[in-house]
Amino acid sequence: MKKMVLAATFAALYNFPAQADTVGLYIGGQSWQSEPSGFFGEQNTLTDFNVKKEHQGHYFFAVEHPYPLLPNVRISSTTLNATGKTSSSQEINFIDPASLILHTSLIDTDVDSRSNVSYVDYTLYYELFDNGLFSFDLGLSARDFNGAITVTETITTVNNWHDIFDTPYTATRYDDSTRKITTDDIEPMLYIATNISLPLTGLRLFGQGDFLLIGDHTLSDYQVGLSYDLIDSRMIDFNLTLGYRAVKMEFEGLADLYTKLEFKGAFFGGVVHF
């Protein structure tokens, strides 16, 4: 059903006119210093793993053309990696009824997590307006998820007791277990992008976002920033970009994956236009 709705909406966009004057190829990428936060895991077992800051990668290419009925095409890839760790301790005391000797068990649980979630966006869009100073794009994206979350739990149990001669004894036991949650799904999203040129400066303000169209999940991905025309010629343009990006993913049963995650932070990148 989801794929049928996505295909029908793509077809409806063919009614919008394209605004580009010539065929152009755009290739770009970002290095993104993200700060993850939130919870993930299986149903009813969402855990805050205190995930760390990590560099994320993003790249894309797009083709724009002047043909009125055909949409422009954009394909982008984003990787969201995160590692985290949480721990808990518990002390259990009990007395052996036969010897009246106190036994103490210290149980430490360390849980390490590794999230390797990536997605590819296949986007069809139209340049609805472009007067050289301001442009506005509207389209649809099919976000193809692929990834896994691996959770490794290490339980350390330390038993302390005394024998009948009051000699202390200590025994340590380690138990490890690993669980892996995988996801592979496609979500339809609304694509919006805009550029505002600042005259005589070589600078542009830009914004871009993808937002979930249908479904029981919460999914958004937006960025705002500033670009600078480092090279501006008839053959090639090269822009440096600096901005802020935020990705929010709240899934409930997406291929057995449950998350309440947000990745946000500054990025630095570049775009080449042929």
- Give pLDDT, residue 253: 61
Q: Is residue 217 part of a domain?
A: yes
Q: Is residue 151 part of a domain?
A: no
Average model confidence (pLDDT) for the chain? 78
User: Which of the four pLDDT bands, split at 50, 70 and 90, describes residue 13?
Assistant: very low
Report the distance separating Cα 52 and Cα 258, nearest Å.
19
User: Which of the four pLDDT bands, split at 50, 70 and 90, describes residue 213?
Assistant: confident
Domain span holding position 249: 2-81+117-146+185-273
- Give pLDDT, residue 166: 62
Residues comprising the chain, all counted: 274
Domain count, the chain: 1
User: Which of the four pLDDT bands, split at 50, 70 and 90, describes residue 151?
Assistant: low
Q: Is residue 88 part of a domain?
A: no
Q: Is residue 98 part of a domain?
A: no
Check residues 46 and 224 and name the one with the higher pLDDT. Answer: 224
Q: Is residue 89 part of a domain?
A: no
Percent of the chain with pLDDT over 70: 62
Task: Give the count of beta carbons closer than 10 Å to the beta carbon of residue 116.
Answer: 15
Q: Is the pLDDT of residue 88 over 80?
A: no
Q: Is residue 229 part of a domain?
A: yes
Q: Is residue 104 part of a domain?
A: no
CATH number at residue 241: 2.40.128.90
Q: Is residue 159 part of a domain?
A: no
- Give pLDDT, residue 190: 97
Report the distance separating Cα 112 and Cα 224, nearest Å.
33
Check residues 14 and 175 and name the one with the higher pLDDT. Answer: 175
Q: What is the DSSP string of the chain?
A: -HHHHHHHHHHHGGGSPP--SS-EEEEEEEEEEEEEEEEEESTT--B---PPPEEEEEEEEEEE---TTSPEEEEEEEEEEEEEEEEEEEEEEEE-TTT--EEEEEEEEEEEEEEEEEEEEEEEEEEEEE-SSEEEEEEEEEEEEEEEEEEEEEEEEEEEEE-TT--EEEEEEEEEEEEEEEE--EEEEEEEEEEEEETTTTEEEEEEEEEE-SSSSEEEEEEEEEEEEEEE-SS-EEEEEEEEEEEEEEEEEETTEEEEEEEEEEEEEEEEE-
